[in-house]
Amino acid sequence: MFHVEQLAAMGIGSVVVNLAYLGEQIRRALGDGSTWNIRIRYSQEPEGALETGGGILQAFGYCQTDLVLVINGDVWTDLPLHQLSIPPASDAHLVLVPNPAHHPGGDFALSGDRLTGHGGPRFTYSGIGLFRRRFFQGQVAGRFPLGPLLRRRSEAGGITAEVYAGAWSDVGAPDRLARLDRRLRGLEPAEEAPLGT
């Protein structure tokens, strides 16, 4: 709900939510979005799910625009989403974060503002990015992960990125979700993260 509330506050009028594992619980919790004066449509993934890349590509079918903001449902951040922008020549623009303890090796490096798989320091993809429809050009619909596609596209120099050093948590595991809940309640101090490796 946090993401929906933040997007509604930005004036975003329409959101597409991917549904896979336990998707009906998400649908019941969010409904049609009228609670937040936002329209929510659902992209139901088939049995076995589509992974991140396939899920985003399918969700594009529900979008009228060429550019979409993608946010993984299992991350929390205080990143001001309204400040994100993408250069005209970029196919995608990613938000990277300092590497968390559970992912110390990171995913990508930066060469200026260009995403690359080589060099260092390395950072972790936050699960937040702006994607143009052309990023998926030539990609066959169906099940596929996003990471390898990002690496291929970055080699062509078509992806930009920025590093966000503010609050960010991957809450994709119960213990990490519980830690974040304790921090937000003031029961546990925030973790200090390195600036990349």
Q: How far apart are CA 6 and CA 28, in angstroms?
A: 19
At 31, is the secondary structure helix, strand, or coil? coil
How confident is the model at residue 34, as a pLDDT? 94
For the segment 141-152, the average pLDDT, to the nearest whole number, is 95
- pLDDT greater than 90 at residue 114: yes
CATH number of 63-184: 3.90.550.10
Query: How far is C-alpha 187 from the geometric centre of its chain's CA atoms?
Result: 27
Is the confidence at residue 86, as pLDDT, over 50? yes
Q: What is the pLDDT of residues 123-132, one digit of tens each?
A: 999 999 999 9
Torsions phi, psi for 126 (to 5 deg): -80, -15
Confidence of residue 172 (pLDDT cuts 50, 70, 90): low
Contact between residue 64 and residue 35 where contact means Cβ atoms under 8 Å apart = no
Mean pLDDT (whole number) for 24-36:
94
Whether the per-residue pLDDT at 29 is higher than 90: the answer is yes
Q: What is the pLDDT of residues 48-62, one digit of tens each?
A: 889 999 999 999 999
Q: So where are the chain's domains?
A: 1-44, 63-184
Q: Greater confidence, 67 or 192?
A: 67
